[in-house]
């Protein structure tokens, strides 16, 4: 693409061209592959109505090469002085910004938005700037300047353009998490999907559904349910009312995992669970979805009634209660009479159901009970207890209805696995 130069000033020009090309292609590839690949894949799926798919790696390479070709054409046409050579990348940067300025609204309703008038105006201003720079520049005096004064302006221009491109996209982190989790699920990488954005307190109903599905595929739903922020109750597991056709992974895919597609006559997840649990096609995943939905909606009496129907808790089975998933054991401690629960005994009404042998969980429940009594300020109590016990059903039961806004403003403890 570039000629080899033998004269000192020509070698300087060649160094500038190659270094700018390397920096631009590195930025473009990383930006498209690591930051914007998921949203481009979703956009292509929606715009093509599912006919074509977007490969993040190949797409990043092809787009970067095309943008570099655009720069090469612009450079030949403009013949900018070496000191301002980086300006020839402006049209490529503009195209990159336009290409990645996609959010949920733009995907649902295709539109160029403000770019219809912003792009022409910016290009006109760019042409005027190129003309001004070429007239202002004294080519002979420029070649007498040292190499630093030639290279640094180009690097500064490139850096500013990179900042400009990065500032354009309006999609949220949560939306990117959704798309990445969706892609990993489709690739059957359920462990990777469950880990997407796990340290963030921000979530959405769809992101929660994707994470819970990924856990269910690993038979970890009830074990790790509260390792994630649960802001949406049972809707964070399954939302029958979500009939959107813009996703590559839909509510019906979750229903298929649970045993059968959901008919149009079924309007609530609770109704779907009950129908499924009364059918022979019911599986353990369906039972855990239903039991977890009861926990998330804090319907503990119903949870207690349903639990023995799906888990064998007969007295003849040693350690039956100890073998229950973590969320279920925590819920039983939450339901039990407090003085006994603090000792690990599950006493509900007049019945002693079991004594848990998991002394670590019992000690943690006792510590949690003492810890939450230490604080008189409600906000401090919510946030302090969340740091240590935010991944338990006890904390969810006591504070989840109060804590969503407070916690999202108090994301200050990097050691917390939920932040």
Averaged pLDDT, 75-79: 93
pLDDT score for 407: 55
Averaged pLDDT, 47-65: 92
Contacts of 351 by beta carbon, 8 Å cutoff, 6+ apart:
none
- What are the tens digits of pLDDT across the range 104-147? 777 777 777 789 999 999 999 999 999 998 887 755 454 456 67
The encoded tokens of residue 8 equal: 């000192």
DSSP secondary structure code for residue 242 in this structure: -
Q: How far is CA 372 from CA 41, 278, 360, 386, in A?
A: 45, 41, 18, 10
**pLDDT band with cut points at 50, 70 and 90 for residue 391:** very high
- What are the tens digits of pLDDT across the range 253-289? 999 999 999 988 899 999 999 999 987 667 899 999 9
Measured from the Cβ of residue 123, the count of other Cβ atoms closer than 10 Å reads 13
How many residues are given for the chain? 419
- What are the tens digits of pLDDT across the range 290-322? 999 999 999 999 999 999 999 999 888 888 999
The three-state secondary structure class of 348 is: strand
Angle subtended by helix axes 173-186 and 205-217, to nearest 10: 30
The three-state secondary structure class of 15 is: helix
Pair 83, 151: CB distance under 8 Å: no
pLDDT score for 402: 79
Q: How far apart are CA 418 and CA 92, in angstroms?
A: 39
Asked if the model's pLDDT at residue 154 lies above 90, the reply is: yes
Asked if the model's pLDDT at residue 170 lies above 50, the reply is: yes
pLDDT score for 148: 76
- What are the tens digits of pLDDT across the range 2-13? 444 446 667 778
The encoded tokens of residue 175 equal: 């939306």
Pair 196, 177: CB distance under 8 Å: yes
Asked if the model's pLDDT at residue 383 lies above 60, the reply is: yes
pLDDT score for 39: 92
DSSP secondary structure code for residue 323 in this structure: T
Return the domain boundaries, the chain.
Answer: 8-171, 319-413
Q: For residue 347, what is the enclosing H or E element?
A: strand 345-348
**Phi, psi angle pair for 201, to nearest 5°:** -80, -15
Angle value at C-alpha 219, between 209 and 42, nearest 5 degrees: 35
Q: Which residue has the higher pLDDT, 193 or 419?
A: 193
Q: How far apart are CA 345 and CA 385, in angstroms?
A: 23
Tokens 């050691």 label which residue?
415
Mean per-residue pLDDT of the chain? 88
Averaged pLDDT, 54-58: 95
Asked if the model's pLDDT at residue 406 lies above 70, the reply is: no
pLDDT score for 63: 98
User: What pTM value is reported for the model?
Assistant: 0.84
pLDDT score for 110: 75
Averaged pLDDT, 327-341: 96
Write down the H helix ranges in 48-114.
Answer: 56-78, 90-100, 104-108
169 has which bridge partners? none
């Amino acid at each position: 693409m570039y000629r080899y130069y033998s004269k000192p000033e020509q070698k300087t020009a060649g160094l500038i061209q190659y270094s700018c090309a390397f920096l631009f292609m590195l930025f473009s590839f990383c930006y498209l592959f690591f930051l914007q690949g998921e949203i481009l894949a979703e956009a292509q799926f929606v715009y093509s109505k599912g006919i074509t798919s977007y490969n993040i790696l190949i797409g990043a390479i092809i787009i970067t090469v095309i943008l570099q070709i655009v720069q090469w054409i612009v450079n030949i046409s403009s013949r900018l002085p070496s000191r301002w050579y980086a300006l020839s990348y402006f049209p490529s940067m503009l195209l990159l910004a336009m290409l990645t300025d996609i959010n949920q609204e733009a995907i649902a309703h295709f539109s160029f938005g403000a770019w219809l008038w912003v792009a022409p105006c910016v290009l006109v201003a760019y042409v005027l700037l190129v003309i001004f720079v070429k007239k202002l520049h004294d080519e002979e005096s420029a070649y007498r300047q040292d190499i630093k004064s030639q290279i640094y302006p180009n690097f500064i221009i490139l850096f500013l353009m990179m900042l400009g491109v990065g500032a354009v996209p309006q999609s949220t982190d949560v939306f990117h998490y959704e798309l990445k989790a969706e892609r990993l699920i489709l690739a059957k990488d359920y462990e990777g999907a469950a880990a997407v954005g796990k340290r963030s307190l921000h979530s959405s109903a769809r992101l929660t559904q994707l994470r819970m599905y990924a856990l269910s595929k690993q038979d970890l739903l009830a074990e790790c349910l509260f390792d994630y922020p649960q802001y949406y109750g049972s809707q964070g597991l399954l939302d029958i009312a979500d009939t959107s056709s813009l996703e590559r992974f839909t509510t019906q895919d979750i229903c298929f995992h649970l045993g059968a597609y959901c008919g149009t006559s079924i309007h609530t997840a609770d109704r779907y669970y009950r129908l499924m649990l009364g059918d022979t096609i019911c599986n353990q995943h369906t039972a855990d979805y239903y039991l977890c939905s009861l926990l998330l909606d804090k319907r503990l009496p119903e949870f207690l009634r349903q639990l023995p129907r799906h888990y064998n808790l007969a007295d003849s089975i040693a350690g039956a209660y100890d073998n229950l998933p973590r969320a279920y054991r925590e819920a039983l401690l939450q339901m039990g009479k407090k003085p006994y629960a603090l000792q690990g005994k599950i006493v509900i009404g007049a019945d002693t159901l079991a004594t848990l042998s998991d002394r670590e969980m019992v000690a943690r429940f006792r510590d949690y009970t003492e810890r939450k009594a230490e604080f008189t300020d409600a906000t401090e109590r919510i946030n302090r207890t969340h740091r240590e016990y935010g991944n338990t059903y006890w904390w969810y039961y006591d504070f989840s209805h109060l804590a969503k806004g407070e916690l999202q403003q108090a994301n200050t403890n990097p050691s917390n696995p939920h932040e």
